[in-house]
Amino acid sequence: GGVEQERRVIIPAGQEIPEDFYNIEKFPEYVALQERLRVLEASGLGNPFFTVHEGITNDRTVIGGREMINFSSYNYLGMSGDPVVIRAVQEAVERYGTSVSASRLVSGEKVIHRELEEELARFLGTEAAVVFVGGHATNETVIGHLFKPGDLILHDELSHNSILQGAILSGARRRPFPHNDWRTADRLLSLFRREYRRVLIVIEGVYSMDGDIPDLPHFIEVKKRHKALLMVDEAHSMGTIGETGRGIGEYFGVPRDGVDIWMGTLSKSFGSCGGYIAGKKALVEYLKYTAPGFVFSVGLSPPNAAAALASLRLLQKEPERVRRLRERAALFLGLARERGFDTGASRDSPVVPIILGHSLHSMQLSQALFRRGINVQPIVYPAVPESAARLRFFLTSRHTEEQIRYTIDVMTEEIDRIDPRYRLSRPASA
């Protein structure tokens, strides 16, 4: 499902063509958006979107001239803004300019693309890797290109929009399975595998709303038994989990070839912009010659390639960044649980939700924290169901213990002011 059937619209002769067919201001979707924004303004809480940050976003950020503790950016390892990364970018710009000014297939190829892809493949332990100009574009074009009508795409119900868009673009049959539920994926394949040609199972290494990690070994077992393909989106697990930051494969200690398509972004732990696919040489070569979002798009810009490459090298040279991230995330999660906050299924990852199940209160809490110097994004209906409305904290390797303890203390005070019942199970000592 998902693809809306195109319907013939017949406007009788002599009847005006309705204005909402050609005037964007009158598009019902736009009118509905205006209404949503108006309600937001009327709530007195203001618009939480497009907050302007005045410098580098890290453990701290400057908003409206005020320095804040920041939990709203996935600069997990502090690579964006790191002096070593900045220097590498400056050198790359001097050498290669700011754009490669062509598709890599035809004249846009630079040494730095090769260096980055070889380093990525070496780091991940795959035969090859290829980088794309956007993380979203990577999923969309790769899934959209590798699968076709007659194929089946099974994906987690909480899959990122880019995975859904890719699946829709492919024209394959698309079926979500309940979150992390490899048993249902297995059952669906037992029933339907033989009705399809290629079957893709898509999961994520760390889910970006909940901070939970799927049972990769079981997904690998299921995909092997049913002769399906497995794709893992490591946007939020790369550089953040696994002993040395090599993601969910390292976290579970599974062989690299247990997953057919390793996908990740350059925009989080790698302090840049773009996405990658890593896996067998055949996969990478095929995509490099044929994936529309690669072939018909400009090559990754030199500054973006340089930022990702420098970050990847720095991550290996300074593995303590990964360890510190793990420690700080565990501290935040442990303290939040101790105080009785609902942190959902978050574990072992730098994403920690504080779930209120109440959009208005989530926005109020976010605002109260903001007044006290803490920036964290509320995630409210309709982005999530009302019962899942929350604040979502991204921890980074640069957050200090002091920042974390202060934040938990302030959040406890502010939430008790809204409604102490949000703290489910206060420990006896509190």
Q: Is residue 180 near ligand PMP by the rule CB under 6 A?
A: no
**Shortest Cβ 339–ligand PMP spacing (Å):** 28
Taking CB positions, which residue lies at the least distance from ligand PMP? 135
Separation CA 53–CA 63 (nearest Å)? 5
Task: Give the nearest distance from C-beta 204 to ligand PMP in angstroms.
Answer: 5
Tokens for 307? 């930022």
Site track for ligand PMP across 150-169, x = CB under 6 A: ----------x-x-------
The smaller minimum CB distance to ligand PMP, of residues 139 and 397, is found at 139
Q: Based on the shown chain and the rule CB under 6 A, indicate whether residue 233 belongs to the binding site for ligand PMP.
A: yes
- Using the rule CB under 6 A, give the single segment among 41-49, 140-148, 192-200, 228-236 that binds ligand PMP: 228-236
How many residues bind ligand PMP (CB under 6 A)? The answer is 14
Backbone dihedral region of 239: left (phi > 0), alpha (psi from -120 to 50 degrees) or beta?
A: left
Site for ligand PMP in 268-287 (CB under 6 A): 275
What is the closest distance, in whole angstroms, from the C-beta atom of residue 163 to ligand PMP in the complex?
Answer: 7
Q: Which stretch binds ligand PMP (CB under 6 A): 57-65, 132-140, 346-354, 403-411?
A: 132-140
Taking residues 238 to 267 in sequence order and writing x for each that binds ligand PMP by CB under 6 A, - otherwise, the string is ---------------------------x-x
The whole-angstrom separation of Cα 152 and Cα 193 is: 8
Is 57 a binding residue for ligand PMP by CB under 6 A? The answer is no
When the beta carbons of 377 and 412 are compared against ligand PMP, the nearer one is 377
We find the least distance from the C-beta atom of residue 428 to ligand PMP, in angstroms, to be 39
What's the closest the beta carbon of residue 134 comes to ligand PMP, in angstroms? 5
Interacting residue with ligand PMP among 61, 112, 135, 301 (CB under 6 A): 135
What are 218-223's contacts with CB under 8 Å, separation 24+? 218/182, 219/182, 219/185, 220/254, 220/258, 220/259, 222/182, 222/185, 222/186, 222/189, 223/260
* Candidate segments 32-40, 128-136, 303-311, 372-380, binder of ligand PMP by CB under 6 A: 128-136
Residue 210 within binding range of ligand PMP, rule CB under 6 A = no
Contact 113, 271 (CB under 8 A): no
- Of 9-17, 31-39, 131-139, 400-408, the window that binds ligand PMP (rule: CB under 6 A) is 131-139
Instruction: Work out whether 349 is an interface residue with ligand PMP (CB under 6 A).
Output: no
Question: In this complex, which beta carbon is closest to ligand PMP, that of residue 376 or of residue 408?
Answer: 376
Q: Is residue 176 part of the contact set for ligand PMP (CB under 6 A)?
A: no
136 binds ligand PMP (CB under 6 A): yes
Between 291 and 365, whose beta carbon lies closer to ligand PMP?
Answer: 291
Q: Measured from the CB of residue 371, what is the shortest distance to ligand PMP in angstroms?
A: 28
Residue nearer to ligand PMP on the CB measure, 226 or 236: 236
In angstroms, rounded to a whole number, what is the distance separating the alpha carbons of residues 303 and 310? 10
The contact set with ligand PMP (CB under 6 A) reads: 134-136, 139, 160, 162, 204, 208, 233, 235-236, 265, 267, 275
